[in-house]
Structure 1
Amino acid sequence: MCDAARAEDLLDWYDRHARALPWRVGPRARAEGVRPDPYRVWLSEIMLQQTTVPAVKPYFEAFTARWPTVADLAAAEDADVMAAWAGLGYYARARNLLKCARAVARDHEGIFPDSYEGLLALPGIGPYTAGAVAAIAFDRPATVVDGNVERVMARLHDEHTPLPQAKPILTEMAAALTPEARPGDYAQAVMDLGATICTPRNPACGLCPWRGACAAWEAGTMAELPKKAPKKRKPTRFGIAYLARRVDGAWLLERRPDKGLLGGMLGWPGSEWGDAPQEAPPIDAEWKTLPGEARHTFTHFHLRLTVKTALVPMDRPASRGDFIELSDFRPADLPTVMRKAFDLARGS
């Protein structure tokens, strides 16, 4: 089967089975002339990086209700955006989100560039996101390759080179299939195929529009693909989180530096994270060590936090951070690991 016929078969399938997503203009509406909003496409793609669709949906809907245009987001306070992002993880994405929104508002009069090259020049947009926005928002024939597409390509071609070494090979395969007609719908169709049919486990090959052209189905190797290089064992780091509460109910919090993990986020003052954390209390107090730990896993390591709490008088100064009045304190604004520490303290 030629590449054009494969693309046509997939688009026929997509026309009937496209997922309804809050950021998507479906194939029927698109055929009737409805154009996707580049802002919504871009925002969804940033949120979906290393995050699942179910997790992203409520955040996307909250963001677009509060900041319906890129100009609205560009004018937002950093702290408000970081708080709204809390829980999505990979917080550098939120900082880059603001940089990009402000660049579009300042340098492009609030209009996203409509080419891959123009999008790639914006801060915080890499090759994948530039390709996705170019294809989905502007119908450019850009190659879009996420984890779903990698899996589909590996199986379609029975490609056994392990990831990540296989990425250039799979990208070339995906590029060869990308049609000139309806490239935006096609990009979403391949991702939908991977998300709903060509799933990591128990793929529904009997429902796949590409089954007859799939080399892995012919060879019976679907479950083995894509091959992945063995993962390195994640190290474990340790730290201390200090939860100080003033007698009037205010909590001592500090904003982390912009660069690094949890950059720009509010959190509990604490020690450095390492093999043997040193005591680093932010205020003079009688600290109580809670039983248990707050545990969290980041991309490259596991973290185990000892949680210490203290009640402090009104007039005692802190060497780090600021007291946040109880009426202004929202645990939901904290990143997940900091909420875990709070939950441990609240349950003690």
Structure 2
Amino acid sequence: MPPRTPPTATASPSGAEAELRSSLLDWWESHGRHDIPWKRHPDGSRPGPGEPLDPFGVWVAEVMLQQTQLAVVLPYWHRWMAAFPDLRTLAAASEHDVLMVWQGLGYYARARRLHGGAQRLVDGEPPAPSADRDPWPRTLEGWMALPGIGRSTGGSILSSAFDRPFAILDGNVQRVLARLVAHPVAPKRQLPHFWRLSETLLDPQRPRAFNQALMDLGAGVCTPRQPACGACPWQPHCAAYAAGDPGRFPVKDTPPPVPFQVIGVGVVLDAEGRVLIDQRLPEGLLGGLWEFPGGKQEPGEAIEATIRRELREELAIEVTVGEELITLEHAYSHKRLRFVVHLCRWLAGEPQPLASQEVRWVAPQELSSYPFPAANARIIAALQARLAA
């Protein structure tokens, strides 16, 4: 369970802790990432100690960063803030508009969680707003009550937005700490130990700056491969460096094999040239998005048979499977997929959403008005090129 009070960072640190804090913050002032927009005031100025920042922008950014690097997130964050500049605008938006703005960033469940969290905060559901109608939680429990917020994300929001002394433990921080102490076990196996270490090192007087410095150190110096130990302010204290092989840390467990699946996809056209698309159920990583129908190939099954079977089972329609349009591969963190896409001609049956929220016939030029997963975007491009030819 997460702590019910702010982490107990040492107010009177030992000599080693004090040196680690001061050396990291000194390094950060000269080499840190100070141009992150949600870490500044709207006029571009840096916040002073204890000075709050807009929690909305920080929250959106932290959720985007859960699965994505900063350089990729930045343009999406700006696009999101232009479309939904505040909490109430986001809460009032439709899921369709939310997914359209998020389109391309992947892991779409994050967008739905932000949308649902905004509605909870505006509606005053737990975590309840205070008497002055400030909806923003000031406790870790308050943030973790929102969908998609774990202990590290909640701590990062509290330290970034309110300069509160809450520790963080994302992947970069785990790597830095594992090398600092040359920990012999994979961090994920001993997270309580790493949480205690992160809490002990946290500077309670400058938690916002310290946490950002720690993340910047992991992102720019203590990198997964070929860490720049000569530029690291913690090199004199680093046990992994002293051991002569910092790249050995953090220790990693052998990952399980990533499953591979072949997906047969049908781009179904009717006599008027319209295309059939369906909307995924509101669950999972891609919930709520639109896609071309299809499904997993069974062992020994021809891909054309897969497409006919899946369209019959999912949409209750019969089709003629024609020529191949495109084959593409897409990797997720937990599986690899190969999409084999064929043009199809609709023969019979009124399309029904037997395994989806909704089905629609749309003109090919209207496809850009719907949020699709990244792989489907490549299918759309191939379809439009084929039609143009």
Q: TM-score, normalised by structure 1?
A: 0.91
Distance 2:178 2:142 in 1: 30
The answer on 1:204 being equivalent to 2:228 is: yes
1:319-330, aligned counterparts within 5 Å? 319-320=352-353, 321-330=359-368
Is the CA contact 2:259–2:334 (under 8 Å) kept in the aligned structure 1?
yes
CA contact (8 A) 2:186 2:253 kept: yes
- How much does 1:245 deviate? 3.4
Give 2:11's aligned residue: none
Contact 1:284/1:318, CA 8 A, preserved across alignment? no
Which of residues 378, 381, 387 in structure 2 aligns to 1:340? 378
User: Which residue among 309, 318, 326 is the counterpart of 2:351?
Assistant: 318
- Are the counterparts in 1 of residues 263 and 295 from structure 2 also a CA contact under 8 Å? yes
CA distance 1:311–1:273, shift in 2 (3 Å): closer
Counterpart position of 2:25: 11
Provide the C-alpha distance between the structure 2 equivalents of 1:139 and 1:274, rounded to a whole number of angstroms. 54
Greater shift in the superposed pair: 94-103 or 240-249: 240-249
Check conservation: 2:270, 2:345, Cα contact below 8 A.
yes
Q: Summarize the Cα distance change of 1:13–1:332 in structure 2 as closer, same or farther, 3 Å threshold.
A: farther
2:308 matched to 1:287? no
Aligned-partner Cα distance in 2 for 1:196–1:274: 45
Find the aligned partners of 2:39 and 2:328 in 1 and give their Cα distance: 37
* Match in the other structure for 2:74: 57
How large is the Cα RMSD of the aligned pairs? 2.6
Alignment correspondent of 1:21: 36
Pair 1:200–1:118, CA change in 2 (3 A): same
Maintained 8 Å contact 1:163/1:229: no
Aligned counterpart in structure 2 of residue 127 of structure 1, from 144, 151, 159: 151
1:296 aligns with 2:310: no
Letter in 2 for 1:92: A
The secondary structure found in structure 1 opposite 2:38 is: coil
Provide the rounded CA distance (Å) in 2 between the counterparts of 1:343 and 1:325: 14
Match of 1:46 among 63, 73, 77: 63
Deviation track 1:160-201 (CA, whole Å, cap 9, x = no partner) reads 212421433222211110121110111111000100111111
Q: Partner amino acid for 1:12?
A: D
| Pair 1:35-2:69 in alignment | no
**Partner AA of 2:144 in structure 1:** L
Query: Residue 114 of structure 2 is aligned with which of 77, 85, 97?
Result: 97
Distance 1:256 1:10 in 2: 46
Structure 1 residue ranges without an equivalent (≥5):
none
The offset of 1:156, in angstroms, is 0.9
**Alpha-carbon distance between aligned partners in 1 of 2:248 and 2:25, rounded to the nearest angstrom:** 26
Quote how far apart the aligned CAs of 1:25 are.
2.2
Displacement of 1:31: 2.5
Out of 341, 365, 372, the position equivalent to 1:307 is 341
Q: 1:273–1:94: structure 2 CA closer, same or farther, 3 Å change rule?
A: farther
Measured in 1, the distance between the counterparts of 2:123 and 2:272 equals 43
Q: Is the 8 A contact 1:134 1:142 kept in 2?
A: yes
C-alpha distance in 1 between matches for 2:171 and 2:297: 31
Return the letter of the residue paired with 2:27.
W
Q: Deviation per CA, 1:234-267: give whole Å up to 9, x if none.
A: 1112222111234555432111001234111111
* 1:212–1:253 CA distance, 2 compared to 1 (3 A): same
Residue among 277, 285, 288 paired with 1:253: 277
SS at match of 2:37: coil
Give secondary structure in 1 for the equivalent of 2:47: helix
Q: Distance in 1 between matches of 2:123 and 2:295?
A: 39
The percent of aligned pairs where both chains have the same amino acid is: 33
Letter in 2 for 1:207: A
CA, structure 1 residues 28+15, in 2 after alignment: closer, same or farther (shift >3 Å)?
farther
* Conservation of the 8 A alpha-carbon contact between 1:83 and 1:265: no
Instruction: Give the partner amino acid of 1:300.
Output: H
Please state whether the residue corresponding to 1:200 is helix, strand or coil.
coil
1:228-267 equivalence runs, <5 A: 228-246=252-270, 248-267=272-291
Partner residue in 2 for 1:86: 103
Unaligned 5+ segments in structure 2 are: 1-14, 354-358
Q: Report Cα offsets for 1:108-153 as digits up to 9, x if no partner.
A: 3462112212212223222121111111111111110111101110
Contact 2:290 / 2:370 at 8 angstroms: preserved in 1? no
User: Are 1:136 and 2:160 matched, yes or no?
Assistant: yes
Do structure 1's residue 223 and structure 2's residue 247 form an aligned pair? yes
Tell me, in whole angstroms, the C-alpha distance in 1 between the residues paired with 2:350 and 2:205.
65
Supply the distance in 2 between the matched residues of 1:131 and 1:235 (Cα, whole angstroms). 34
Q: CA 1:248/1:61 → structure 2, altered by over 3 Å: closer, same or farther?
A: farther
